[in-house]
Copies of this chain bind each other. A is one copy, B any other.
Amino acid sequence: MAAQTGSQAVERASALLGLIVESGAPRTFSSLVDELGLAKSTTSRLLQALERSRLVYRDRTGAFRPGALFSLHAARPSALHDLSELARPTMEHLSELSRETVNLAVPRGGQLVSIDQVDSCYLVGATNWVGVDVPAHCTASGKVLYAYGALPRPTGQLERRTAHSPVDRAQLEHALVEVRRRGWAASLDELEIGLTAVAAPVRTVDGSVVAAVSVSGPTSRINDYGITRLGDVLVAELRGLSALLGHQPGRKEGFA
């Protein structure tokens, strides 16, 4: 189906592993067989290989569960289970896709702050955002956090950073409606002329939004990539990240 080149056996085995690990509950052999649609024999062999390698094991009932290697990783004191550690792989991936700067932002004290960043590989556009507080209303991540109630609405005057900054409350609210509709937010030249960002939400187990991930770069390059396309990619990738946080994709995606 989605094989690029090369190792089909490994990919199939990995798919099995994925199913076993992702669904917290023990997976039965037959459920795996017809979920992947492989022959019983093939499935059996692959699972045996995984079992030999201690990547899965069969519990008492004969169902498959994540094996010792997973426990090992989980037990590592160094395996920071915090957000930025979890998000790293996804962010690296997004960085490769877009080749632009990727940021992970969370609300802090009524503003938003980036807690992790993967730099663009271009020279232009690789400023550091980690730790610097920026006005949320003119960033893509900020809009996401506003839209889904992760950040309380700003009080007082909305700062005008550029001619494009939204300073009118009604205008902002209108934008937020749009964000919720599409699932992602954009900010074109609103914080700084020539700087565009696209962001989407990261949800936790109860469906609430806890962070936003943004991709940002020169307006021209982002436009080349396509804002909508980028938004959709972000949403898709972050759905995966949300799953890591325990968010069940099926569930209501309410906004606080």
Measured CB to CB, the residues of A under 8 A from B are 4, 6-7, 9-11, 13-15, 17-18, 21-22, 24, 45-46, 48-50, 52-55, 57-60, 65-79, 81, 85-86, 88-90, 92-93, 118, 205, 240-241, 243-246
Contact = CB atoms under 8 A, between A and B. Distances in A.
Interface centre among A49, A240, A246, by most B CB within 10 Å? A49
Contacts of A66: 73
A135 to B, nearest CB: 29
A22 B72 contact: yes
A8 to B, nearest CB: 8
B79 A74 contact: yes
Contact of A89 (B11, B14, B15, B57): B57
A7 B49 contact: yes
Contacts of A60: 92, 118
17 contacts: A4-B52, A7-B48, A10-B10, A10-B53, A11-B52, A18-B54, A22-B72, A54-B89, A57-B92, A58-B92, A59-B92, A60-B118, A68-B90, A70-B70, A74-B79, A75-B244, A75-B245
